Structure 1
Amino acid sequence: MSAIAFAIPGDIDLPTGGYGYDRRLLKEWREAGIPARHLALPGAFPFPTADDVALTERILASAGPEETLLVDGLAFGAFPEALAARFGGRIVALVHHPLALETGLDAATAWRLRDSETLALRHARAVVVTSPPTKEVLSAEFGVPPDKIAVALPGTDPAPRTEPRLGAGPARLLAVGSIVPRKGYDVLLAALAQIADRGWLLTIAGSPDYAPATAAALRDAIRDAGFAERIKLAGAVDQDRLSALYASADIFVMPSLYEGYGMVLTEALARGLPIVCTRSGAAADALPDAAALKVTPGDAMALAKGLARLIDAPSERRARADAAWAGAATLPCWRDTARTVAEACLGGGPRMD
């Protein structure tokens, strides 16, 4: 097979880390002359109707025999086994993180997704993951042979440094990510309530549309805590607005309960921001300890202490900002990411040299 048909459910232009990864692969392949195209699958995944499954089968069947079917895990993990088996010899699965590990699922739904993803992965010719921990999970819990899995860490673009602002005034905190249970914004709010006497302002940039009940509960909790003037929910933002938010921040915070990788952490590192985050993904593990204070996911007290420490000590913020800027030089580039995925799909086919 000498070309890639990249099957992705929903709107690829949505501002999420997973879609951002997918968009960037297509861009890098296009620029490198790798034959690749986008196949748009129904947006109902990972909870498709029978009609969605039938339409997905027709879309995949439309791909030419020379095309490897690279299927985003948001869809592939919810494929009925018969669908995965029909195209199994041609499918490479891209798993950002297993569907069953999404926070907030009821037990029955989580088990159903675990079962469907386990069965579907048996039929994939190869699997690409975005971090070594996800490879370990798929091998240990989903029965995927390790030699069948390629790791393609997300790349990071060079970015201008955010100059440390050490003068008077509240510390400007920034969190980035959709408002869903897994992102742990309720834990962040509980942490900030413990340090309400400190000078801080928080902006959360992320869509409220994926989990409306979670977003509504967060808005209510912000109001009830008396933080309406201190916490801004910016919603989904475009790249220019996001860049401006990074440029105006003093501290980056990520309270996630679980991440397959955590691309926003390397984006913050690339701008030289000091970081307070949970140990919830491969990006957190990869951050230099000198740049980031790392706490246990779900521990509001530890998160509060980490934030208070940097708010209270501008000199430490400066030192950690310097360490972040130095660490940014070691980040992988997107061309390397795209090369790894292309090689998993095409084997000895076209290269990105």
Structure 2
Amino acid sequence: MSIAPLYFAFPGRLDTLTGGYHYDRQLIRELRQLGLEVATLSLSGRFPFADDRALQEAGETLSALPDSALVIIDGLALGAFDETALAPVRAKRLRLVALCHHPLALESGLDPAQQRRFQRSEQRALQAARAVLVTSAHTRRTLITQFAVPPERVTVARPGTTRVPFARCQGQPPRLLAVASLTRRKGHDVLINALAPLQHLPWQARFVGGREFDPAWSDELQRQVNRLGLHSRIDFVGVVDETQGEFQRADLFVLPSRYEGYGMVFAEALAAGLPVVAARAGAVPDVVPESAGLLVPPDDVQALTAALHSLLAREELRRQLQAGARLAAGTLPTWSDTAACVARVIEDAALL
């Protein structure tokens, strides 16, 4: 491709171990493979709960870019921009492509004032963009209906997956795997409560994910496990550099997130051929087909207990969903597919 250099802005460190940052890293790598020159810009790690200094620094970073520069800004920062940070875009000096993994206002644990503030700031920022990238059709519909983004500006660029060997799924006892940062939106508290009545069945669970985003919540989850006598059944693993080994050693993936803009870990579970148990929330039904998993209402502990009981007590059902997951794995996009989609959007935005 013969377009001008691309700037890619994100909050904090690009090597942060979350799904959104993994998407950013893989996309940057693949765009470079396509021949694009991509320069990375690290904004304040205080986003999305940015203070005045973080917003001023973001504006200064963008102001330093050359005229007509094409810049992708990760929504974790962009969604919290104020008019000062957006000034170089408002002046039409920069060509902005927004990347929205999921709307900030839909994050769990926000108070009404925070939700309203993010709704206003994200809508303002998205409408200033020449194009908007989202990771699922669900998020596209949300931005169109709830954030007044014109449909023609929004493109779905689903996260890619890497082709991997299928997990053997022969654990004795079965190993349940949850991969997610320990935040309220991911629903670990619901999962812990759902597992408590199933102590008569053989199983072990591994919660893989960092505590740093909400340490107080992480501590409460550990206390919950201790209160319910599950400390010998649930292992808080923390952050791991490479999660593929966790997927390969698991028998079942379970994560009852309260909302997902896409849910890359569900696609990674399918890529490994794992049956999935999840909440029917956000884009999860778009990722996990009925042939590969059981979906329950969000925050429904009893329904989640019933779904887990079915899979733990009925090996034939587990094998049936395992086969469905293996079939679904073949339909998942690759990261080169994702980058090709984004490259088309970038080229169009550069010509506007």
TM-score, length of structure 1 as denominator length: 0.94
Matches within 5 A, 1:170-185: 170-185=173-188
Matches within 5 A, 1:84-103: 84-88=86-90, 89=92, 90-103=95-108
> Are 1:204 and 2:193 an aligned pair?
no
- What is the rounded CA distance, in whole Å, between the counterparts of 2:281 and 2:333 in structure 1? 20
8 Å contact from structure 1 (residues 265, 284) kept in 2: no
- What is the rounded CA distance, in whole Å, between the counterparts of 2:88 and 2:295 in structure 1? 44
Identity over aligned pairs, percent: 42
Paired AA for residue 142 in structure 1: F
The answer for the alignment partner of 2:155 in structure 1 is 150
1:83 Cα deviation (Å)? Answer: 2.7
8 Å contact from structure 1 (residues 279, 285) kept in 2: no
- What is the rounded CA distance, in whole Å, between the counterparts of 1:57 and 1:349 in structure 2? 21
The answer for the alignment partner of 1:232 in structure 2 is 235
Number of residue equivalences = 346
Paired AA for residue 182 in structure 2: I
The answer for the alignment partner of 2:117 in structure 1 is 112
- What is the rounded CA distance, in whole Å, between the counterparts of 2:122 and 2:310 in structure 1? 42
8 Å contact from structure 2 (residues 160, 332) kept in 1: yes
> Are 1:127 and 2:132 an aligned pair?
yes
- What is the rounded CA distance, in whole Å, between the counterparts of 1:291 and 1:47 in structure 2? 37
> Are 1:223 and 2:237 an aligned pair?
no
The answer for the alignment partner of 2:13 in structure 1 is 11
Paired AA for residue 62 in structure 2: L
8 Å contact from structure 1 (residues 161, 325) kept in 2: yes
Deviations 1:217-264 (A, max 9, x none): 00100111111111000111111xx11111111111011000000000
Paired AA for residue 26 in structure 2: R
- What is the rounded CA distance, in whole Å, between the counterparts of 1:34 and 1:66 in structure 2? 16
Paired AA for residue 160 in structure 1: P
Q: Which moved more, 1:154-163 or 1:51-60?
A: 51-60
Change (3 A) 1:127 1:107: same
- What is the rounded CA distance, in whole Å, between the counterparts of 1:349 and 1:142 in structure 2? 24
- What is the rounded CA distance, in whole Å, between the counterparts of 1:194 and 1:118 in structure 2? 43
The answer for the alignment partner of 2:245 in structure 1 is 244
8 Å contact from structure 2 (residues 262, 287) kept in 1: no
Change (3 A) 1:348 1:130: closer
The answer for the alignment partner of 1:316 in structure 2 is 317
- What is the rounded CA distance, in whole Å, between the counterparts of 1:307 and 1:31 in structure 2? 42
TM-score, length of structure 2 as denominator length: 0.95
1:37 Cα deviation (Å)? Answer: 1.5
Matches within 5 A, 1:19-98: 19-65=21-67, 67-88=69-90, 89=92, 90-98=95-103
- What is the rounded CA distance, in whole Å, between the counterparts of 2:129 and 2:86 in structure 1? 7
Question: Runs of 4 or more off by more than 3 Å in structure 1?
Answer: none
Deviations 1:268-299 (A, max 9, x none): 00011111111123243232211111111111
- Gaps of at least 5 residues in structure 1 are none
The answer for the alignment partner of 2:293 in structure 1 is 292
Q: Which moved more, 1:7-16 or 1:81-90?
A: 81-90
User: What's the C-alpha RMSD, in Å, of the aligned pairs?
Assistant: 1.6
- Gaps of at least 5 residues in structure 2 are none
The answer for the alignment partner of 2:216 in structure 1 is 213
1:348 Cα deviation (Å)? Answer: 7.7
8 Å contact from structure 1 (residues 26, 37) kept in 2: no
Paired AA for residue 347 in structure 1: D
Q: Which moved more, 1:13-22 or 1:309-318?
A: 309-318
- What is the rounded CA distance, in whole Å, between the counterparts of 2:191 and 2:308 in structure 1? 10
1:34 Cα deviation (Å)? Answer: 1.1
